[in-house]
Amino acid sequence: AIRMTQSPSSLSASTGDRVTITCRASQGISSYLAWYQQKPGKAPKLLIYAASTLQSGVPSRFSGSGSGTDFTLTISCLQSEDFATYYCQQYYSYPSFGPGTKVDIK
């Protein structure tokens, strides 16, 4: 099974900040990597797939990069609606998710 790790597990930031979250796979997954945003009581929302492709309707302040084992999600200018938990997911094989990164208000 492919294990996914994320760092940090949580971070505090202010509106307007640039935020970067890292995801690492235990083995190479090419670009079969997605990022999700989840707010309390809601289902996850797909933000990025294929490591760097923005899902339709997602603001351009979200971007993704990486391939192989190391990936990043960047929010260029944090907005109030971006405070949430973010998960990475590999779909190279049996899907697995990272443990999540909670972004809260500083």
E-strand stretches of 1-106: 4-7, 10-13, 19-25, 33-38, 45-49, 53-54, 62-67, 70-75, 84-90, 96-97, 101-105
Question: Looking at 23, 44, 71, 82, which residue binds another protein (CB under 8 A)?
Answer: 44
Tell whether residue 95 is a contact of another protein (CB under 8 A).
Answer: yes
| Residue 55 or 76 having the CB closest to another protein | 55
Contact window for another protein (CB under 8 A) among 10-18, 20-28, 68-76, 83-91: 83-91
Tell whether residue 97 is a contact of another protein (CB under 8 A).
Answer: yes
